[in-house]
Amino acid sequence: MKKLVLYNHGKDSSPWTDKARVLAEVAKKHGYAVESPDYRAQINPDERVKQLLAMDLSDYDEIVLMGSSMGAYVATVVAEMLKPSGLFLLAPAFYLPGYRRTEFNPPADHTLVIHGWQDEIVPPENSWRFCQKHRICLKMLNDDHRLISVLPILADEFDRFLAGLM
């Protein structure tokens, strides 16, 4: 069975940051291939959705979507069409000006949201609102929007998340 984790980076980020590389190593230990599309030429989140949907993913039997900030928005919108086995969201950019979608239909049984208490880019209450509406687990960590100082915790959470999909 061919398995894929698709990491979707944030607005001002790039495909293979330290966070992406650390989480990719976790995915590989679970037998997943990892791809991280480059969205840097596209600042519009809904155009990023189209870019992701244009990828040929037909070789994969199982897909896990992961995203950070704008990438979490992209992953959540795409999840409605791709029906992934899991959705792992970091500081998701929900309910912000300039984002077309404000209603989502995530696969709630295999979704986890992690957000930083000190996030000054995406208010933590936006994740609370999303998780409360969809009855999704929300983990709050003592960090800012980038969640870099808690990277070992993110890796542990992602490890448990992937183990729970088996």
pLDDT, one tens digit per residue, over 137-157 is 999 999 999 999 999 999 999
Q: Which residue stretches of the chain have pLDDT < 70? A: 108
Predicted structure pTM score: 0.96
Which residue type does 140 have? M
Structure-block tokens of residue 53? 């949907």
pLDDT of residue 55: 97
Residue 107 pLDDT: 81
The C-alpha R_g of the chain, in whole angstroms, comes to: 14
CA distance 136 to 130: 8
Q: Give the count of beta carbons closer than 10 Å to the beta carbon of residue 159.
A: 16
Q: Give the pLDDT confidence score for residue 92 in this predicted structure.
A: 98
CATH class of 3-163: alpha beta
